[in-house]
Amino acid sequence: MRRFWDVVFVLTRRLLNVRYRGSRLGVYWSLLNPLLMTIVYASVFGANFAQYYHGSIKEYVVNVFIGLIVLNFFVGATEAALTSVVANGTLLNKLRISFEAFPVAAVASFGVQLAVGATPFLLVLTLGCSGRPEHLLLLPIPLASLALLSAGIGFVIAGLYVHYRDIPYMYEMVAFLIWITSPVFYPISIAPERIQAVLKLNPLYPILQSLREVVLAPVITEPYLLLWALLTGGGVCAVGYALFRMMKPTFMDML
């Protein structure tokens, strides 16, 4: 167990070092995209959508920013996990390393990026918007759920990719579907009731909504969202891990 996390640590460090080439400020590049996109969405939709956010463009902006952080993390981490096992095929043929360490490290590298890059913003926003310091204690719940969910999906697609090399094209499509059906820049209430029920099946939905409540709402009106987020994350992670272990025995023949 100790060894597993040592390996994950080393692999995560390698990923981060390669991604940022040693410049520590590189992490902040990852914030450039959500900040720019937030400006774009606020300019295009802000005036119209503010009515769904108590008439406040500021609230809309924070909602969009949080949505983008969550979605960028999910898509980035799962796509990194997708290729992680195959990309290290040569390594696995020469050294004894547990397969699980690769998708976990891929997600962990995005976790570090989130912790260093976006979390300070989330802390400040929570204090400024909800005005409730105790909400800071709730922040880790949706964020941990997000990491667990990404790891679970990451396990499944990383394992499938070992066998089927056309998975990236399909996953690109799936990721886009998940992106567009997540209420990132639109309020879910603009969809018809029946469609809303379907949209809420998206595993990212409880994570997005509970994170927004923790950051923005002075009173948490839907506490079950936090539980729902955690259960979804934990459940998907457990199922993904189990499937990965089932696929594992044939990996070495395909690498």
Partner 1 sequence: MTEAVSERAVISLSGVSLVRRTHEEYSHDLKASAFAFVEGRYRKSLRKTVLDGVDLDVPAGAKVGIIGPNGAGKSTILKVIAGILAPTAGSVWTTGRIAPLLELGAGFEPDLSVTENIVSYGVLLGGSRAETLRKVESILAYAELEEYRNYPVRALSSGMLARLGFAVATDVDPDVVILDEILTVGDELFRKKSRRRIEGFLKRGITTLIVSHEMQTIRETCDRVVWVERGRVRLAGGVESTIAAYLDSIDEVALRMVRARYSQRLNGAASVAD
Which residues are near partner 1 by CB under 8 A? 2-3, 6-7, 9-11, 13-14, 17-18, 21, 90-97, 160, 163-167, 170, 249-250, 252-254
Residues sharing a CB contact under 8 Å with residue 53, sequence separation 6 or more, in sequence order: 59, 60, 63, 187
Q: Which is nearer to partner 1, 14 or 54 (CB)?
A: 14
Residues sharing a CB contact under 8 Å with residue 84, sequence separation 6 or more, in sequence order: 102, 103, 105, 106, 154, 158
Q: Which is nearer to partner 1, 13 or 200 (CB)?
A: 13
Q: Which is nearer to partner 1, 197 or 252 (CB)?
A: 252
b/e code 217-243 from CB counts within 10 Å (16+ = b): eeebeeeebbebbbebbeebbeebbee
Rounded Cα distance between 47 and 35, Å, is 18
Q: Which is nearer to partner 1, 10 or 198 (CB)?
A: 10
Q: How far is the CB of 96 from partner 1 (least distance, A)?
A: 4
Q: How far is the CB of 173 from partner 1 (least distance, A)?
A: 12
Q: How far is the CB of 5 from partner 1 (least distance, A)?
A: 9
Q: How far is the CB of 165 from partner 1 (least distance, A)?
A: 4
Q: Which is nearer to partner 1, 81 or 105 (CB)?
A: 105
DSSP code per residue over 162-178: HH-TTHHHHHHHHHHHH
Q: How far is the CB of 252 from partner 1 (least distance, A)?
A: 6
CB of 19 closer than 8 Å to CB of 109? yes
Six token digits for residue 226: 């936090």
Q: What is the DSSP letter of 219?
A: S
